Amino acid sequence: MKTQPVTASISAKLLLATVLYIASVFGAAVFGSFASAQIPTKNSAADQSTVSASSVDPSVRPQDDLFKYVNGKWLRDTEIPADKSNYGSFTALADLSQERCNALIKQLAEEENEAGTDAQKVSDFYKSFMDVRRVNELGGKPLVTEIAAIDGIEDVSGLVTHMAYLQTIGVDTPLGIYVSQDAQNSTAYALHFIQSGTTLPDRDYYLKHDRKTLTNQIKFLDYIDEVFLLSAIDHPEASEKVLEIEAQLAAASWPRERIRNANERYNKFDLEQLRALTPEIDYAAVFRTIGVPQPDYVIVNTPSFFEALETMLTETDLDDWKFYLKFKLINTFEQYLSEDYVDAGFEFFKKTLAGVEQQKPRWERGVGLVAGKGGFGALGDAVGKLYVERHFNADAKAKMDALVKNLIRSFDDSIDELTWMSDSTKTKARQKLKKIRTKIGYTKSWRDYTALKVESQDLLGNVVRSNQVEFRRMTDKLGKPIDREEWGMTPQTVNAYYSPTKNEIVFPAAILQPPFFDADAPAPLNYGGIGAVIGHEISHAFDDQGSQYDGDGNLNNWWTEEDETTFNDLTKRLVDQYDGYQPLPGKSVNGRFTLGENIADLSGLAIAYKAMAYENLSDAPIAQWSPQQLFFVGWSRVWQRKYREAEMLKRLLTDPHSPSQYRTNGPVMNIDAFYDAFEVKPGDKLYKPESARIKIW
C-alpha cells in the first residue's frame, strides 16, 4: 500500500506555512492553561497536622473535587521548575534519587579505581560526559565514520542491513527488533519485529492538520535543517525528504489503542511466511547483522506496517533514505555531541514539544545517562548496588511483604464477592492470583558489565559500546531459559510494574519512601499510598489486557464467553467515563487507550481499602480526618502533579495513564467507601448513583 507523501511540487515548509496561515485566518483551537497538583513531604504520624497547612485547600469540598481539596494550596503555590515539563510527587522523589546517585558517582570519580571494575566504568563514563571542553572541541566529528557508512549504502539490500546494524547501536529505524518472552509460550524467548522509525511523539504529530500540529512540523523541519547544517550535510530538500519518509511511516503505524491489544499484536510467522510478507527484506542478512542464529519463527507485532515498509523500500529514492538514516543517527546521539547540537535538540524536543523553559543541569543529565532515570542507564545496576547499600532500609521490605500479603488476601476476597463472574472463572482467577510473584527493593542478579569498555575521553564511543552491550545482552537470551531474577527497573527508579508474561509485580527501593510509604506513618496513609500502588500492579494482572494471560504468563483465554462479555461491558462504561474528561478545552482523555491503567487505578484503590480492614485501626481521628478519610487523602497526595500545556497535549496522545486529577477523582466516584467516608450526596460533583458505579474487581 502506497501512502500519500507530505509534499508534492512545493516545499514542505512553504506548504505547511500556507496551511497554518489559512488555519489562523479561519480559526483554530486556542489552548487554555492547565492546572494540576503535588504533595507534602513529611509523612510521619507526628507531622500529619502539617498536611492541611502545606497542601490542602479548605475552600474546595472533597465531595466535589478530592484532588484539588487535598492538593489545592500546593497547586496554587508551586511553580513547575524551569527545567521540567511537569512536576509532582513522582518527580520530587525521582529528583531525590538523582541527587543521591550523583553523590555516589561523584565519590567514585574522586577515587582511584582499578581498571575494568564497575567503579572505574561508572567514574569514567560520568567524566566523559562532564568533559564539556573536549566534547565541544570534537563537535560532530565522532559521527563522521557512521555518516560515511550510510553514504556507502548501494542498494535496498544494503539499506535494510544497515537499518539492522543501526538498531544494534541504539538508533531507532523502521526495522524495530527486540527479544522478549513468547506470549503463547512464556517459557521461551522469541525475536520480535515491531513498527518503529518515527521521531515525533506520536503518529498524530504527522497526520493531523490543526494549527498546533502544523507549527510543530515546521519547527521539526527547522530542527532537521539545523543538525544537518552542523553536520555539514548540505541539500536544500533534505529535511523535507526526512519528514516525508517519517510521515509515511506514521501513516502505516498502528494507533496506540490497537498496538496495546495483546492478541492483535501476537502474529507468529515462520521464515517462509516472513519472506512472503516482505520479499525485499533479506532476513538471513538481518539475522547475521544483529548476531543471532536463524530462528524457527518470529513474532511480527504489526504486520501491515511491514507491508507498507516493503513498498517504501522499493518506491522511495535511496538518497532520500540516506538523508533519513543520517538524521536518525544524529538525532539519537546529539546529546553526546557539542553543545550546539544539544541546544538544538533542547529547543525542539523540550521547549517546543514539552514547554520546558530551561535545560537540565549537565550533572543531572550525566547521572541520567550513567545511572538511569526511568530507564536502566549505561551502568544502572552498578550504581544500584551502591544505592541499595546507602539508602535502602531493610525493614521496609518486611513491612512491604506484609502489605503485599494483605493486598493479595483482599483481592482473593474480592473475587469471592463478585456477582458478575461465574464460579469456574473465579477458580481460574484465584489460580492466577496465587501464582503472582513479588519482587521488592532490588534484584538478586545484578547485571554484569564486564563486556563494556569505558574511556574517560570517549563519550560517544562509550554510549555506542554500551548500546551494543545491552543489545547483545538482549539477543543472547534466545534459546536460553527465562531469567526469573531479571528486573526491568533499577532500585533507584521511582516506579513499579507488572509483567504479564512473568506474572510478577515489582517495586524498586526508591518508591518505598514518603509519600508512597513511610514505616512511621499511620496505616491509612500507607494503604492509600503504597497499598493502592500494590493493588494497582496486582490489578494489571486482571485488566483488559493482563486478563488475557494465564497464571503461567501465557496468552491464553481463561474466561467463559458470558463472563468475558460482562467484563467488556463493565470496562466500556469506564471508557465512557474517562472519555468525558477534558484537561484542556476540546482535548479529551482517550478512555480506550488509558483503559488498562484506569482499571488498575479503580481496582487497586478498592482492594487497598478492603485490605486496610486487616489492620487493627483505631477510629480516632488523625489530624482532621477519620482513618477512612485519611486513606483517600493518601491516595490523592500520591497523584499530586502539575503539567505544562505542551506536555499535557503530548501525554494525551502518548501516555496510557490518565492525567493526575482524573487518577484521583475518577476511581473514587465508583467506590462506596468514599461516599461513606466523606458523606457524598446527590448534587455533589463526585456523586454517582449507586447503580451507575462501576465495580470490576
Query: How many CB atoms within 10 Å of residue 679?
Result: 9
Confidence grade of residue 183 (pLDDT, cut at 50, 70, 90): very high
Least confident residue range of 105-114, 218-227, 303-312, 617-626: 617-626
Confidence grade of residue 54 (pLDDT, cut at 50, 70, 90): confident
Who has greater pLDDT, 545 or 374?
Answer: 545
Neighbour-count burial for 579-602, b at 16+ CB within 10 Å, e otherwise: eebebbeebebbbbbbbbbbbbbb
Average pLDDT along the chain: 92
Q: In this predicted structure, what is the pLDDT of residue 153?
A: 98
Q: In this predicted structure, what is the pLDDT of residue 672?
A: 98
Q: In this predicted structure, what is the pLDDT of residue 617?
A: 84
Q: In this predicted structure, what is the pLDDT of residue 622?
A: 85
The answer to whether 246 touches 206, Cβ cutoff 8 Å, is: yes
pLDDT digits (tens, 9 = 90+) for 402-421: 999 999 999 999 999 999 99
Q: What share of the chain is helix, strand, coil (3-state, %, to 5)?
A: 55, 5, 35
Q: What is the mean pLDDT of residues 682-694?
A: 98
Q: In this predicted structure, what is the pLDDT of residue 73?
A: 96
In the predicted model, is pLDDT for residue 395 greater than 90?
no
Q: What is the mean pLDDT of residues 378-393?
A: 96
In the predicted model, is pLDDT for residue 303 greater than 60?
yes
In the predicted model, is pLDDT for residue 251 greater than 50?
yes
Q: In this predicted structure, what is the pLDDT of residue 198?
A: 98
Who has greater pLDDT, 17 or 346?
Answer: 346
Task: Kindly report the pTM of this predicted structure.
Answer: 0.91
Element spanning 308, H or E: helix 303-315
Q: What is the mean pLDDT of residues 380-398?
A: 93
Q: What is the mean pLDDT of residues 476-503?
A: 97
| Count of CA atoms in the C-beta half-sphere (13 A) of 285 | 15
Confidence grade of residue 624 (pLDDT, cut at 50, 70, 90): confident
Domains of the chain: 45-97+382-692 (3.40.390.10), 140-337 (1.10.1380.10)
Least confident residue range of 201-205, 299-303, 623-627: 623-627
Q: In this predicted structure, what is the pLDDT of residue 397?
A: 87
- DSSP states along 159-216: HHHHHHHHHHTT---SSEEEEEEETTEEEEEEEEEE-----SSSTHHHH--SHHHHHH
Who has greater pLDDT, 53 or 527?
Answer: 527
Calpha distance 525→461 (Å, rounded): 47
- DSSP states along 116-154: TSHHHHHHHHHHHHH-HHHHHHHTTGGGHHHHHHHHT--
